Structures are given as C-alpha cells and as structure tokens.
C-alpha cells in the first residue's frame, strides 16, 4: 500500500495534484487507516497515471472522467473531437504569435502591412517621428473605417512619396515642428504645398487630389489627431486656405483670401 506522497512519486505528479484530482472526483479518496493515513493500492496508481496522461495531452479535466469510463469507440470519437479543438487553438495561438512578432518588431498591431511599409519608408527618408505618428494614427482610423480601400489609397501614397517635391514638404515640416507658429518657414512651406497641389490638380485632375470619401465627423477626428500631434499643421492649414487649398485629411480647393495670395 502507498502513502499519498509515494503514489504521487510513482505517477510523476505532485501531492497537490493528487488532492486536486480528489476534489474534482477523478480519483477516489480512500479511507484513513488506523494510523490516520490514507493508503493507496496499485489500481489507484494506474488510474492516476491515466489521469495525468490525459491532462498532459490537453484534455480538459471536465472530460477526463468521461474518457476514463468510455468504451473503445467512444474514446476514439472523444479524442478526435479534442484533437480538432486543439488544432483550432494552435492556429489561433500561431496567429497571436505572428501579431506579437509584429509588435516586437515595432510595427503596429492595428495597421495593414502595406501601411507599416509606407511608414517605414517615411522613417528611412528622415521624416520626423511626430509626423509619422500623426500619419499612423490617421491610418488606424482609415483602416478600421474602410479596410477595402486601403490598397487603393496606399498605391497612391507610394506614388506620391516618390515625388521629390512631396518629400521636401515632409522634411521641411519636420524642421518646423519645434518652431513657433509665426515662423516664416511655415509660410514658405504653404507656398510649396499649394504649388504642389495645384500642379497635381492640373496634371491629374482635382478628383485625384480630393478622393477621400469620408464622413465629415471622421475627417474632423483625423484632423484633430494630426493637429494635436503636429501643432504647426493647424497653422499650415490656415496659410494654405489663403493660397486656395484647405484640409489635412480631406484636401479641397477654395477661393484664396484676398489679403494673402500666394507669393
């Protein structure tokens, strides 16, 4: 006869595990002997090893009793069902691992790969991280709102960042981030940007420049995110309006203000 410690040792489990299986009703708890100890026979050891083997195979304890009592056909069916569930869990965990790997690599969990690639390109070009953060936050909202349009928008973005004039805009804005809102370089930047938008509109049409079909509340939210992250952007939009263009997320042509036409 075995003590609980000896039983646990033979089965390769802890005494605590044996007591847990008692509590779950998986392993019968013998009466105490005249010395006050519980003694287990060889059958208990065999049963405990079966329980341990099933538990280590990933069988929920709630189903262990069922399997121990099942006949051969029922056991095979139950094991097949458990295997199916485990394979589904493995696929889900693998998906989680892939997303965690992206996070560990510094990529956002909430952005499509093509957007992550685009943001990486901006970093390579030397664009300030605050501008990239504003871009990233905006793309999080866009990807959640209209995921089916992300490839279309990103194709246009890739085309645009190949234009040295737009890259110059990003780099100039990067240099202006820590300057006061009255810095004359913002006016110079507005001139460059207005000229760039005008050239695009003339070459490819205004539909190409303004093709963000979004609800006004979402546009306002995205603009607020950008302005909070890149404060000079708000002043830049004011200057752009005087030059015939307005909008950060949704660009639109407007009538230039008479007292501040483009220089």
Question: What is the structure's pLDDT at 258?
Answer: 59
- Which pLDDT tens digit goes with each residue over 211-244? 667 788 888 888 888 888 888 888 888 888 999 9
The answer to whether 108 touches 140, Cβ cutoff 8 Å, is yes
State which residues of the chain have pLDDT below 70.
99-109, 179-182, 208-212, 258-263
Question: What is the structure's pLDDT at 192?
Answer: 83
Give the angle subtended at the CA of 135 by the CAs of 130 and 136, to the nearest 5°. Answer: 95
The answer to whether 10 touches 2, Cβ cutoff 8 Å, is yes
Residues facing residue 38 across a β-bridge: 32
Calculate the alpha carbon distances from 128 to 22, 125, 139, 179, 196 in Å: 62, 9, 17, 14, 21
Question: What is the structure's pLDDT at 102?
Answer: 59
End-to-end C-alpha distance for the chain, whole angstroms: 100
Question: What is the structure's pLDDT at 262?
Answer: 43
Q: Mind giving me the DSSP string for 8-49?
A: HHHHT--HHHHHHHHHTTSS--PPB-TTS-B-B-HHHHHHHH
Residue of 17, 23, 91 whose CA lies nearest to 55: 17
């Amino acid at each position: 006869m075995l003590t609980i410690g000896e039983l646990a040792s033979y089965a390769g489990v802890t005494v605590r595990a044996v007591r847990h299986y008692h509590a779950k009703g998986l392993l019968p708890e013998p009466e105490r002997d005249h010395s006050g100890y519980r003694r287990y026979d060889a059958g208990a050891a065999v049963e405990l090893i079966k329980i341990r083997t099933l538990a280590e195979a990933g069988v929920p304890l709630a189903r262990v009793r069922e399997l121990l009592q099942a006949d051969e056909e029922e056991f095979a069916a139950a094991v097949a069902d458990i295997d199916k569930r485990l394979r589904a869990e493995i696929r889900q965990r693998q998906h989680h691992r892939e997303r965690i790997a992206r996070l560990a690599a510094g990529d956002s969990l909430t952005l499509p790969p093509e957007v992550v690639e685009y943001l990486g390109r901006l970093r390579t070009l030397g664009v300030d991280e605050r501008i990239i953060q504003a871009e990233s936050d905006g793309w999080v909202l866009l990807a959640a709102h209209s995921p089916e349009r992300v490839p279309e928008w990103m194709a246009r973005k890739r085309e645009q960042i190949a234009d040295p004039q737009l890259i110059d805009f990003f780099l100039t804005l990067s240099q202006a981030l820590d300057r006061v809102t009255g810095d004359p370089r913002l006016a110079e930047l507005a001139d460059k940007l207005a000229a760039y938008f005008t050239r695009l509109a003339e070459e490819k049409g205004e539909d190409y420049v303004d093709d963000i079909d979004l609800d006004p509340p979402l546009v306002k939210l995205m603009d607020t995110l950008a302005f909070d992250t890149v404060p000079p952007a708000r002043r830049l939009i004011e200057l752009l309006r005087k030059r015939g263009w307005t909008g950060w997320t949704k660009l639109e042509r407007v009538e230039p203000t008479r007292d501040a036409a483009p220089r």
